[in-house]
Structure 1
Amino acid sequence: MSARPLPAMADKTTWRKPLQSHRAIVLARGFFEWTGERGSKTPWFMSHPDGNPMGFAGLYSWWPDPSRDKDDPERWTLTATIVTSDAVRTLAGIHDRNPVILPEHMWLQWIDPSVLGDQALVDEAVHAGVAEAEQLRIDQVRTFGTKDDGPQLLQPVSG
């Protein structure tokens, strides 16, 4: 699931509490997007040019399962979302959105519970994430299925 920061994301009931007190950084080596029509889609892998992990702006929540007893510790489910923004120029031909990639200097600020989780913080993260997203390495990779796994999925198609 992804959360698109609307002009007033901090005012939306769905995001208000997580933004105020449940911010996370989702570390990733990169992310996939697909282009093309059904049956002939092309996978793309976006990654940091130096291979370092990226930190996506994330939000999380705990949800109770109403079918379980209130004293059952397994009653709670952790859910998370990645904040997305309109695609930067370099990615717009692949998808209309991209994850908000926090520069490392913002990581502690994003997760610091003493920092006010308001629209200004979201706007700052989105703005700072533009430069991070515009420098991504974009590689076409081999087509794969949902059951496929392994480092070969990240290898660029040659030629």
Structure 2
Amino acid sequence: MIAILFILINLSLNITASLNAVAVISSNYSNETVDDYDKILCRGCGIDLASSQNIISKLSPSSQQSFLDTLFNTENVLIQILLSEFFFNFPVITTTHSSCVGVGEWEDSENWFPDYQWKPCVCSECGTYVGWVFKPIDLDISDTDTFFVLILTNIISETFLDSTIIYPK
């Protein structure tokens, strides 16, 4: 009789502990805010290059075409088609921040954004060419005016990439 009572008390304590754990998890989940921002990844290796919260609409006067679309879980993203001096078209977006690394010297030559210097930008992990970094030529303008132009064909959305993964059953 004592053994059965001991088992019932122990079982009751385990159930109470489990219910408390579920309540804590549940309350933590309900207090969480959903992060609507998507990560922008290097298509070559998958490293984080930027967040969709860093996307800006920096229109180039040299843009061949521009339009708004929903990308990276963000509405009204400005997509531009920029033409290089070698007649390559680049569909691009602009961001305020990126982990890509600028390589080479700053160029002052004719570019898509007047009053800015530029240099190519590569993925810090795999070296894939992902775009350009631009900074103001005028040193009186703050460093916060630096921005990045990322080539759409060289980046991918983390949400999209996750949707292509098939988990084992």
Q: Same fold (TM over 0.5)?
A: no
After TM superposition, the score normalised by the length of structure 1 is 0.24
TM-score (norm 2): 0.23
Specify which structure has the bigger relative contact order, considering alpha-carbon pairs within 8 angstroms and separated by 6 or more residues: 1
